Structure 1
Amino acid sequence: MTPEPTAAPRVVGVVVTFNRLELLQRLVARLREVPELDEVLVVDNASTDGTGAWLVEAAAAAADGPHLRVRTLADNRGGAGGFHDGLAWALERDADLVWLMDDDGLPDPDCLATLLARRDDLDFWGPVVVDQADHDRLVFPIRLPGGTRSVHRMRDVEAAAPDGVIRDVVIPFNGVLVTRELVERIGLPREEFFIWGDDVEYLWRARAAGARVATVVGARVLHPSVGELGTPMMLGRTTYNHSPSDLKHYCMARNNLVNLRAYHGWPHALAFVAKTVWFYSFTRPSRRRLALSADAMRAGLRGDFSGHRRFLA
């Protein structure tokens, strides 16, 4: 007897957006061209740039491709809150696989098909994320497994993945696929993080649960450049994620300390504290930033995730 073909999984896309209407329009147009995608769910974080009105019109308009559904949150809950709600919503919509992405990425037309070709042996996997102005440059560098080497160019990624896959590495929430089974096993992203570190925490949680994680080199998402990640410190021997935004820094300092303590223990957490003190004492001296860092870290250790709200307009 000829075995019956395996039914195609129901794939639901989840996009989280906030005040980037032009980029969102570009992304939604692309997603509606992806035949493997069954539905697109857009979570709008209370945008104020006309996004909400455009989404209502776009969802109501007759169009080819996957159906578009929209949910507008009452207030801005950041990427963490958006992905928390969006992933839960996708499961309510009977998704077998959920394709997660921010509004500023643009997957290649064959990105999802390339990822789906690996679905039998992976639980949490995604594409490389490259600079839309320079397709050989990674927007988010990849640290290769088994060492400390990070690669910044596609040619180096390809050389490190002769079978087309880099195991145990993925850039979360930038075109990643996650299985329903894994979400049901490990839960949803930590909505209280607001921004910064929620994606890393979810990846580390998945790894701790034994998930099969990978980057598929042949799948690609284009993304605007974010510049060189990490400001050099200690004579260039390491870097620090400095941001001029108090909101971003507060969330980074709080959430990174929480993640390091939970998944790597106090030695790594204290090393991050020392690195922060060094950076704002010697590399970019700022008593105000030292005080803000201390406030954020104390809040994280207390389990208080409300302090970032003071920076929201």
Structure 2
Amino acid sequence: MTEQNQQRPRVVAAVVTYNRLELVRRLVTRLREVPSVDEVVVVDNASTDGTGEWLRGLDDPAVLAVTLPDNRGGAGGFHEGLRRAVEERDADLVWLMDDDGMPDPDCLDLLLAHRGELDFWGPVVVDEADPDRLVFPIRLPGGTRVVHDRSSVERAARDGLVRDVVIPFNGVLVTRELAREIGYPREEFFIWGDDHEYRLRAERAGARIATVADASVRHPSVGELGTPMMFGRTTYNHSPSDLKHYCMARNNTVNLRTYRGWPHVLMFWVKTLWFYTLTRRQPGRLALSARGFGAALRGDFTGHRRYVR
């Protein structure tokens, strides 16, 4: 990757929101308090809770409000936000942020301390109610160990970094050079797996990726991600949402086939069968999974619409 000059970078935060007015209001307020943030692009996924009206009423030239004509999910929102930040706002770095995350006041400065070393990097994402607990479990590099607590991440860090690991779109920084090289998130994914695909694409391009162990974004708990299965030898990302599960089944199949190969696809399908047959018996989820798998094989990215509420 091209080395950036060491002058102060132009940082544009890109936020995606949908029907969470109070959360996005809180987040935008925090971002405008961070001196290193030059502008904030807020992409509203056609919210119906007054978010669009609030954004249009803002009297702040440093906040660019983009209201999409329909709900394109997190994937479509981040595609649009990153594109706008790079192509229209001339960002050197884009700080990607979900509306329910809350960066610590020093988060960005701690990330910027590694500018020039990295191309795609972010903070530890911790539970807002229990800051030592990770919201998204991390598989440490060089093995199969999955950790759920911040202290394990800190112990694994070298020079403050856990390299080759990042939780995308939750306070992650992306360089303009990388975005121009690999493009923008796959908007057709809608939700689930779009962030992971973008990380895999960056990895394939040779990007320098890392988690900064002392930087934090606080995030609400997301439930049962990383549920143990197969006698504790592995985990499964169970969600009670049919929409999330369908998109996970479809998009994860696409990602594994594209970046890891058919043996990994088959293992994912076996894990799904095991989980909803033995770990948590839900025959209906197997049918839903099969619809997602079939859509992935056909390249059909329209089936999720039936589950959008």
* TM over 0.5, shorter chain: yes
Q: What's the % identity of the aligned pairs?
A: 72
Output the CA distance in 1 between the equivalents of 2:299 and 2:28: 37
Q: Which runs of 5+ in 2 are unaligned?
A: none
Query: Partner of 2:160 in structure 1?
Result: 164
Looking at structure 1, the residues matched to 151 and 81 of structure 2 have their Cα atoms a distance apart, in angstroms, of 34
Q: Are 1:120 and 2:125 an aligned pair?
A: no
Partner of 1:69: 64
Instruction: Report the counterpart of residue 102 of structure 2 in structure 1.
Output: 106
1:47 aligned partner: 47
Q: Give the corresponding residue for 2:38.
A: 38
Q: 1:217 aligns with which of 213, 216, 223?
A: 213
Give CA-to-partner distance per residue, 1:127-166, whole Å, 9 cap, x none. 0111111121111122211111122222222111141111
2:199 to 192, 198, 203: 203
The residue aligned with 1:21 is: 21
Look up the match of 1:79. Answer: 74
**How far apart in 1 are the matches of 2:81 and 2:158?**
35
Q: Displaced runs of 4+ in structure 1, greater than 6 A?
A: none
Deviation at 1:6, TM superposition (A): 4.0
Amino acid of the structure 2 residue aligned with 1:78: G
Displacement after TM superposition at 1:209 (Å) = 0.5
- TM-score scaled by length of structure 1: 0.94
CA RMSD of aligned residues (A): 1.4
Relative distance call for 1:162 and 1:206 in structure 2 (3 A) is closer
| Aligned residue number for residue 96 of structure 1 | 92
Deviates more, 1:167-176 or 1:139-148: 139-148
SS of residue matched to 2:33: coil
May I ask how many residue pairs the two structures share in their alignment?
A: 304
Q: Which residue identity lines up with residue 19 of structure 1 in the other structure?
A: N
What's the counterpart of residue 144 of structure 2?
Answer: 148
Trace 1:300-311 onto structure 2 (pairs within 5 A). 300-311=296-307
Aligned to 2:273: 277
- Unaligned regions of 5+ residues in structure 1, if any? none
Q: Distance in 2 between matches of 1:296 and 1:77?
A: 18
The question of 1:233 aligning with 2:229 is answered yes
Alpha-carbon separation, structure 2, partners of 1:126 and 1:185: 19
- Superposed CA deviations along residues 48-101 of structure 1, whole A, max 9, x for unmatched, are 11111111122x2x5xxx811100011110000000011110012111110001
Deviations 1:23-54 (CA, angstroms, capped at 9, x unpaired)? 11111110010111110000000111111111
Larger radius of gyration: 1
Cα distance in structure 2, aligned partners of 1:157 and 1:244: 28
Give, in whole Å, the separation in 2 of the partners of 1:236 and 1:167: 26
Separation (CA, whole Å) in 2 of partners of 1:129 and 1:122:
18
Cα shift at 1:240: 1.7
